[in-house]
Amino acid sequence: MTPVLEVSELSAGYGGLPVLRDLSFRLDAGEVLALIGANGAGKTTALLTISGLLRPLAGVVTFEGVPVVGVRPDRLARSGLVHVPDDRGLFPSLTVAEHLDVVRADRAARARVDEWFPALAPLTDRRVGLLSGGEQQMVALAQALVRAPRVLMIDEMSLGLAPMVASSLLPVIRRVADESGCAVLLVEQHAAMALSIADQAVVLAHGSVVAQDSAGSLEANFTRVLDGYLGGPADGETSARTSVEDESEDDAGGNPPPEPSSTEPN
Ligand SMILES: Nc1ncnc2c1ncn2[C@@H]1O[C@H](COP(=O)(O)OP(=O)(O)O)[C@@H](O)[C@H]1O
Ligand SMILES: [Mg+2]
């Protein structure tokens, strides 16, 4: 079976300097891949590159069997590779309904979105700027899903959300993948929660892949494998991200992750 999304030895960065090196994975329809790593690990760079917003320095991205490096991001989005950015890309003065109507909605997908996000029904005419963070994230996801994507990439879905809200949204992502066959690339700050709904996982540190396995295996080895790279306790319900990222950002933490490659490519 041709994977719906295949990334091979992808390297990307800014001003010619790589901040992401040799990322490779295959994602089949209906699969969820969790891409995890501390702040600055290269997760957003990976999503921007796969969705065509950033040109890779090296590597191949294949969407439904077709190489797509160089294809315009709006064209990719129209053909089913849809990206929910970390700022959610919403318009505060537009209503929920306007958000779901502005894109080319697929009728069947629209009906399913109503089932996946019943909480949005009473908010249809509400301006998005007046909604809670969790409701806004639902709108961002719904807006992506009414386009019936084949690949959905979600950057930091839980950013700024209470853990309870985040933990109620993650199972919906699993359901979306199972029921629609959409493949999901999930960048998530709640690593343990992301692993609990994912099929595969990739852990990035300093732009390099430091662990890649089935989500189940990584979850089983959570403390041993991930603590070193994420720096926090294997606590599924609380976000270890803030302290982790504070530490990793300047590498001044007491327990720095092992450097995967000490030589900086030029
Ligand atoms: N526009 C940019 N210009 C230069 N460097 C950037 C830019 N965006 C991100 N970076 C750097 O690239 C690295 C990876 O960033 P990013 O992909 O945003 O990581 P993550 O999403 O995992 O937090 C970081 O060191 C960051 O400072
Ligand atoms: Mg990011």
Domains of the chain in sequence order: 5-250 (3.40.50.300)
Q: Is the pLDDT of residue 259 over 80?
A: no
What pTM was computed for the model? 0.85
Looking at every residue in the chain, the average pLDDT score rounds to 85
Q: What is the mean pLDDT of residues 5-9?
A: 98
Q: Is the pLDDT of residue 229 over 90?
A: no
pLDDT one-digit tens code per residue, 231-246: 544 343 333 333 333 3
Strand stretches in 143-236, DSSP E: 151-155, 183-187, 200-205, 208-214
Does residue 106 sit in helix, strand or coil?
coil
pLDDT of 223 reads 66
* DSSP code, position 258: P
48 Cα nearest atom in ligand 1: 17
Strand stretches in 58-125, DSSP E: 58-63, 66-67, 81-84
Instruction: Considering every ligand atom shown, identify the ligand nearest to the alpha carbon of residue 241 and give its number.
Output: 1
Q: State the distance from the centre of ligand 1 to the C-alpha of 240, rounded, in angstroms.
A: 20
Q: State the distance from the centre of ligand 1 to the C-alpha of 43, rounded, in angstroms.
A: 8
pLDDT one-digit tens code per residue, 101-145: 866 677 888 889 999 999 999 999 999 999 999 999 999 999 999
pLDDT one-digit tens code per residue, 81-109: 999 999 999 999 999 999 998 666 778 88
Q: Is the pLDDT of residue 225 over 90?
A: no
Ligand 1 first shell, C-beta below 6 A: 14, 19, 37, 39-45
Q: State the distance from the centre of ligand 2 to the C-alpha of 40, rounded, in angstroms.
A: 7
Q: Which tokens in the block code for residue 59?
A: 């590597």
d(CA 88, CA 155): 8
Any idea what the Cα angle at residue 51 is, between residues 60 and 103, rounded to 5°? Answer: 145
**Helices 107-116, 163-180: inter-axial angle, 10-degree rounding:** 140
d(CA 106, CA 114): 12
Q: Is the pLDDT of residue 254 over 60?
A: no
Check if the beta carbon of residue 208 is closer than 8 Å to that of residue 35.
no
